[in-house]
Amino acid sequence: MAELTSTLNQLASGLRFTLGIFFLTLLFSIPLGLLVARGRMSKNKIVAGLVRVYISVMRGTPLMLQLLLVYFGPYYIFGVKLADLDVGPFKYRFVATIIGFSLNYAAYFAEIFRGGIQSMPVGQYEAAQILGFSKAQTFFRIILPQVIKRVLPSVTNEVITLVKDTSLAQVLAVTEMFTMAKNLASSQVSVMPFIVAGVFYYVMNGVIEIIMNRAEKSMRYYS
C-alpha cells in the first residue's frame, strides 16, 4: 500500500512535466500551425515551397529524432554550450522538448487547418468582400469560426495523440510521467507503475474527449 502511495506521488510529480509539455505545445503549435497553413497556401511560390518542405520533413521523420536534433544541434553544429540556453527556471532540455514538439505539431495542425480553410466555399469570401470586410476581418470573423467547427474532430485526434507523445520527452531525460514510471518499474521490479501511468494517460484523454465533445456540441447550432 505504501508502495502504491509512493508510486502515485512520484508519478504525480512527473505529471507536472507531462502537463507542461502538453499545454505549452498546444499554446505554441496551434497559432504556429495557423501561420504555417497560411504559408502553405501563399501565392508566393518560394514561401509555399519552403513551407511544404518543412511540413514534409516534420511529418516524415520521427519526433524522437527531431527532439534529439533540437537538443544536441546547438552544441554539435554551432558549438553553443547547452547550459547557456536555459530559459529562466527551465532547463534547456525542457525548452528543447517544447520547441521540438511545437515545431512538429504545428506541421500536423497546419495541414488540418489548410484542409478546413480550403473547404470553405468561395461564396463566403465573395460575400464578405462585397460587404466591405478587410482581408483580416474576413478571415477572423467569417472564415476562421467556420473552419474551427470543421476541423475540430481532426484537432481532437491530434490533441489525444499529443498526450501520449509527451512520453517521448524521455529521450531528453525530461522526468515526465513515463520516465518516472519506467524508473519506478525497474526499482520496484513491478509493472504496477506502468499500469498506473496508463490510467493517468487514459483519464487525461477521457477529459479531453469530454471537453472536445462539448465544444463540438456548442457549435452544432448551425450547419
Report whether 14 contacts 179 (CB < 8 A): yes
Regarding 90 and contact with other proteins (CB under 8 A), the answer is: no
Residues linked to residue 90 through DSSP beta bridges, in sequence order: 87
What DSSP state is assigned to residue 13?
Answer: H
Taking a C-beta distance cutoff of 8 angstroms, is the pair 180, 201 a contact?
A: no
Q: In angstroms, what is the minimal distance from the CB of 43 to other proteins? A: 15
> Which of 19, 85, 139, 146 is in the footprint of other proteins by CB under 8 A?
146
Cβ-based burial of 177 (10 A; exposed 0-12, middle 13-18, buried ≥19)? buried
Q: CB of 144: closest distance to other proteins in angstroms? A: 10
How far apart (Å, rounded) are the C-alpha atoms in residues 67 and 171? Answer: 8
Q: How far apart are CA 71 and CA 94, in angstroms?
A: 9
**Could you count the other beta carbons within 10 Å of the beta carbon of residue 123?**
8
142 lines the binding site for other proteins (CB under 8 A):
yes
Is 145 an interacting residue with respect to other proteins (CB under 8 A)?
yes
Q: Which is nearer to other proteins, 76 or 222 (CB)?
A: 222
Interaction of residue 141 with other proteins, rule CB under 8 A: yes
Which of 133, 192, 194, 215 forms a contact with other proteins (CB under 8 A)? 133
Piece in contact with other proteins (CB under 8 A), picked from 8-16, 35-43, 118-126, 189-197: 118-126
Q: Which one of 58-66, 79-87, 145-153, 208-216 is the stretch in contact with other proteins (CB under 8 A)?
A: 145-153
Q: Binder to other proteins among 149, 152, 208, 212 (CB under 8 A)?
A: 149
Check residue 205 for interaction with other proteins (CB under 8 A).
Answer: no
Q: How far is it, in rounded angstroms, from Cα 92 to Cα 187?
A: 27
Q: Which is nearer to other proteins, 119 or 134 (CB)?
A: 134
With 0-12 / 13-18 / 19 or more C-beta atoms within 10 angstroms meaning exposed / middle / buried, residue 42 is middle
Q: How far apart are CA 84 and CA 8, in angstroms?
A: 34
76 touches other proteins (CB under 8 A): no
Distance CA(132)–CA(124), nearest Å, equals 13
At its nearest, how many Å lie between other proteins and the CB of residue 38? 20
Between residues 81 and 220, which has the closer beta carbon with respect to other proteins? 220
Is there binding between residue 119 and other proteins (CB under 8 A)? no
Q: Which residues bind other proteins (CB under 8 A)?
A: 121, 123-124, 126-134, 137, 141-142, 145-146, 149, 219, 221-223
